[in-house]
Structure 1
Amino acid sequence: MGNTLITVAPTGAEVGKRDAPALPVTIDELVVAAKECEALGASVIHIHIRDDEAKPTLDLGRLRDTTEAIRTATGLIVQLSTGGAVTDPEEDRLRVLEAGPDMASCTMGTVNFGDDVFLNRWAFIVDLHTRMQDRGIVPEYEIFDLGHLAALERLLNKYGLPAGGHVHVDFVMGVAGGMPGTVEALVACKAALANLPEGTTFSATGIGRTTLPVLMASLAAGGHLRVGMEDTITYARSQPVESNAQLVARAVSFARLAQRPPMPPADARRLLGIARVG
């Protein structure tokens, strides 16, 4: 089944500093987290950014500065979130691509997100996909529900393969309103990949208490992993996460136990079809 591509999602847009004091919210804090996680075995960093008050933002200047800082300090693949916060307008989410990341997320449908709605209209998805094709940015297709895979099949059939030619998806599991973080849900999603281009790969993300079941199921099913404080702020019952490195270290230990050690960034670039060497 090969080595394991490990993505770290260090910040997100939902968790606040008050709830997770270790959350990296400044550029310097993100760089420190990136370096620590790369040293342990991460190869991709999925980035959300915060403003000077630690609130979610899609400020283009700060996105560019963050991208450049991570590239200067590490060899990680820089993947920017085009999801932002659920309240961000479409034009700001599209503008994320102007920061020039290696990768960007592309969520494949609308989903209830706790008490909110994460809106992803079909026209917006098409616009995001085709702009990434034009710019040579490799997408990670984010799948919050089984029907999103059918939407991805429709997208690829009508608008062609992504930049780099390789299709990679991330199953985001355990969001209140999306698919559950269970083995059964992951198996159903993997089965649906048969309708996508040959060689399609997947990562899986378990939110909150679904982190470990999803992590172990993904490894057993030949998938890859995404971990980080965007998705998990409790390491164990009544034990707050100390750092993103702590979560990456746990993922690495499980990957090695499964005899699928972490994939170096250079190998991850080849797998994902990212032209930039480092």
Structure 2
Amino acid sequence: MAEYTLTVAPNGARRGRDDHPELPVTQDQIVATAVACKAAGAHGIHLHVRDAAGAHSLDAERYRDAMAAVADAAPGMAIQITTESAGLFNVAEQLDCLKALRPASASVALREMAREPDMAAQAYALCAEAGTQVQHILYGPSCVELLRRWYVDGTVPNAMRDVIFVLGQYVPEVLAQPQDLQLFLAATDDLNLNWTVCAFGRHEQACLLAAISAGGDVRIGFENNIETPSGDLLPDNAASVAALITAATAAGHTLKES
């Protein structure tokens, strides 16, 4: 059976409290969620911050405050920021966020960086120099092929081998299915990647169990799914974390020690 790490993505860029009353938007809500999810077994948090109106933000000061608050309240919990544009930010703004924060860990979508290839190279070089652990967001075969090309031409340093496979999508809605993973595994078989899976929609847990069985790590949370398989609302992020760990343990898998 497999060992795995588990990251929680509690809010994302698009959903709000109208979508689920337990989705964290404010810093206090995010911190409380981080504490609860760490207690439930999550190794790390994929961190999005919001502006005063609750909209997705890449503001460095908001990130600094949130990162410090999570680190204080949930010591030892890994913190990964996002550079996701969500249709709001250009590559220059994403690069500015990385420059200002020089974070320990960040997720970066190749297809967003590809809007400005020269700036993309700057972003990856900055992360290499700063020691930022970059997790490449891969949405499908075209992203895999872009990553392959960028390894060859040096845009992405060869050492940056962490990726997340995104199963399904938010808009237009495509519910992830466990079999979706095989496309990614086949396309990346020769790349020697450290891979994680997240999955949109109510089949999230089944998809993540398939990923664990295949030797991957997983990311769970309200960024990707707020529903049970039958379509009811999940209680909260910590309950999702705990339920996945229970199901994985029942299948013989082991959560890695933090």
- TM-score, scaled to structure 1: 0.83
The reply to whether residue 129 of structure 1 matches residue 129 of structure 2 is: no
Question: Residues 145 and 177 from structure 1, CA distance in 2 versus in 1: closer, same or farther, beyond 3 angstroms?
Answer: farther
The aligned residue for residue 183 of structure 2 is 188
CA RMSD in angstroms comes to 2.4
Residues 128 and 73 of structure 1, relative CA distance in 2, 3 Å threshold: same
Q: 1:208 to 1:121 in 2, by over 3 A?
A: farther
Task: State how far apart, in whole Å, the 1-side matches of 2:175 and 2:146 are.
Answer: 19
Q: Secondary structure at the match of 1:54?
A: coil
Rounded Cα–Cα distance in structure 1 between residues aligned with 2:157 and 2:70: 24
Give the corresponding residue for 1:80: 81
Shift of 1:182: 3.1
Deviation at 1:139, TM superposition (A): 0.6
Residue 204 of structure 1 pairs with residue 197 of structure 2: yes
Deviation of the 1:229 alpha carbon = 0.7
1:15 maps to 15
Q: TM-score, normalised by structure 2?
A: 0.89
Residue-by-residue CA offset, 1:43-84 (whole Å, 9 max, x unaligned): 121111112222221111111111111122221111000014
Gaps of at least 5 residues in structure 1 are: 111-117, 266-278
Distance 1:178 1:154 in 2: 29
Distance change (3 Å), C-alpha of 1:243 and 1:184: closer
1:46-125 maps to which residues of 2 (within 5 A)?
Answer: 46-74=46-74, 75-97=76-98, 98-109=100-111, 120-125=115-120
Structure 1 residue 166: Cα displacement: 5.6
- Which stretch of structure 1 is more off in the superposition, 125-134 or 53-62? 125-134
Give per-residue Cα distances to partners, 1:144-191, cap 9 Å, x unaligned: 01121121122223327759x461211111114698723443112112
For residue 251 of structure 1, the aligned residue among 238, 244, 250 is 244
Matches within 5 A, 1:260-271: 260-265=253-258
Greater alpha carbon shift after TM alignment, 205-214 vs 134-143: 205-214
Letter in 2 for 1:92: E
Deviation sequence 1:203-251 (CA, Å, 0-9, x none):
1111013413321221221111111111111234342122110111122
**Alpha-carbon separation, structure 2, partners of 1:134 and 1:179:** 37
Distance 2:187 2:232 in 1: 36
Q: CA deviation at 1:124?
A: 4.2
Change (3 A) 1:162 1:78: farther
**Where has structure 1 moved over 4 Å in runs of 4 or more?**
118-121, 160-163, 176-180
User: Using the alignment, how far apart are the partners of 1:81 and 1:57 within structure 2?
Assistant: 10
Report the count of equivalent residues: 255
Change (3 A) 1:237 1:4: same
Residues 209-248 of structure 1: pairs in structure 2 closer than 5 A: 209-248=202-241
Tell me whether 233-242 or 13-22 shows the greater mean CA deviation.
233-242
Give 1:15 deviation, angstroms: 0.6
Cα–Cα, structure 1 residues 58 and 166, in superposed 2: closer, same or farther, change >3 Å?
closer
Using the alignment, how far apart are the partners of 2:234 and 2:118 within structure 1?
Answer: 38
